[in-house]
Structures are given as structure tokens and as C-alpha cells.
Amino acid sequence: MRDDDGFEIDRAFDLLPHVVGASWALIWFRMNKIRRPTQEEFRNKVVEYLKMLDALVDSYPKSGEFLAMTLHVKRRYNEEIENILAGKNPEIEKRFKRYVDYG
């Protein structure tokens, strides 16, 4: 795999947690009238929705020329989940604060 082969995947993982995970989680909390979830509840719900992309993460063949990319995708996916749960994704934290402060 060339150094720049993972660029598009990396950009996707920069966006997917807050565009997909946080957006869906926020709607879930609003529809359930939960105004003040804990940070842990919010992070877990974001990860729950992000994990719905498992089929996409697993979509490349696991052999041949795709093997290195498949490993890269899985690594980035797992890193993003760990970062969210540890409170190390600033976009997720910003969206949590915005929801709790302004709903």
C-alpha cells in the first residue's frame, strides 16, 4: 500500500464519527426526550451508531492487493472507536456540549 492510498479512508474516519455517529445519537436522545445524557452515555450511543457501518468497514476483500487497505481500515475504525470512548475525539465532545447546553 502506498503512503497516500489511505488518504480517503483517513478523511472518511475524520468525518464519520460526528457526521454519522453523533448526528444519529443526538436525534435518538432528542426523540427520547433525554436532555442531559452523561458523556459516557453519549459516547456509547455514538459508537453504537458508528458500529452500524461494520458492513462498510468489512467491504474490501481480505486478500491480494486489498489486504493492506483492509488492515488499515480496520485499524482506523478501531482507533476512532477507542478515541470516542476515551473522550479524545474533539468533534464528538463539542457536539455533546452543544446538545447539553442548547439542546
Q: For 27-55, how does the pLDDT look when each residue is reduced to its tens digit (9 = 90+)? A: 999 999 999 999 999 999 999 999 999 99
Domain that holds residue 56: 3-102
Q: What is the distance between the alpha carbons of residues 59 and 50, in angstroms, rounded to a whole number?
A: 15
The radius of gyration of the chain from alpha carbons, rounded to an integer in Å, stands at: 15
- Which pLDDT band, with edges at 50, 70 and 90, does 1 fall under? low
The total number of structural domains that make up the chain: 1
pLDDT in tens, 62-95: 889 899 999 999 999 999 999 999 999 999 999 9
Residue 5, pLDDT score: 82
Q: State yes or no: pLDDT of 20 exceeds 80.
A: yes
